[in-house]
Amino acid sequence: MPKTFLTLILIVVFYATAVTGQSPASGSDSLAQLTDADTIPLAKTKLWPALIRSAIVPGWGQIEQEHPGRAAVFYGLSVYLFYNLAWNYWQYDKTGEHAYWQTASRYAIVYAQVNALNMIDVVHSYVFKQDQPWPEKLFSDLPVKSPWGAVTRSAMLPGWGQLYNEKYIKSLISLGICFDFARKVYVFNQRYQYTGRKYYLERRLINSWYLGLFYALNMIDAYVDAYLFKFDDMMRLTVVCSGPDLVPLIGVHIEF
């Protein structure tokens, strides 16, 4: 089972690095185009990339289509089913009892069905044009990144939301800290199971609380960064000297 989980984690991390948000407004767009909400085109998610992503990590395609609620459901169910599948197969590999094999097979069938429904949902959203990503244009009344999309990404993999928000160093830090706390929880749990010492139980509990707290902060940070994405670039205060007395005026400098 450890090798199976390690393989899954490596796949998620590798493909998460390939995720890119919709491209921001280009410098060639005119001010009239940017300020007129009716002229802001909504990017449409391509079907095959979304399907491939959902086949790799259930819920990923829904994230690209900006359906974080559906993504959370499919991802949560898939993680639960995969964990039970792997655990029962591990027990079968250790004990050779056929009952574990039967249970693992049932979980595998249900996992395949959930994954199929997950991909059908992606196709349904595409066909009925339910996928409407955030416009990602300056001067619109929406953020240029999806806050709940960032939260869902960070819930699926700590640091993924920061990667989506183009906070690359923060993404590595978030992933590293969560991984370190999770490693400590695992290590202290193993030592407690082996020795039965209360000290290891307490350390496991403390690190579990730290992991949960930082996990929540990681999602909150992703939400805030997404909502304020490019805000500093859009609005810059500029001091302009005007008039015969060179009276300083404070204005807003817009950068494209």
Task: Write out the two tokens for 142.
Answer: 């929406």
Per-position b or e across 41-70, b if 16+ CB within 10 A of its CB: eeeebebeebbebbeebbbbbbbbbbbbeb
pLDDT at 47: 83
The domain boundary, picked from 133, 154, 183, lies at 133
**Containing domain of residue 176, as a range?**
166-256
Task: Please give the pLDDT value at position 148.
Answer: 85
pLDDT at residue 139 in the model: 46
The arithmetic mean of pLDDT across residues 223-233, rounded, is 78
Is the pLDDT reported for residue 117 higher than 50?
yes
pTM beyond 0.85: the answer is no
Q: Which of 133, 150, 177 is the last residue of a domain?
A: 133
Work out the mean pLDDT of the chain and round it to a whole number.
Answer: 76
- 145 in Cβ contact with 134 (< 8 Å): yes
107 vs 110: CA distance, rounded Å? 5
Answer yes or no: do 118 and 192 share one domain. Answer: no
| Cβ 56 vs Cβ 50: under 8 Å | no
CB atoms within 10 A of CB 73: 17
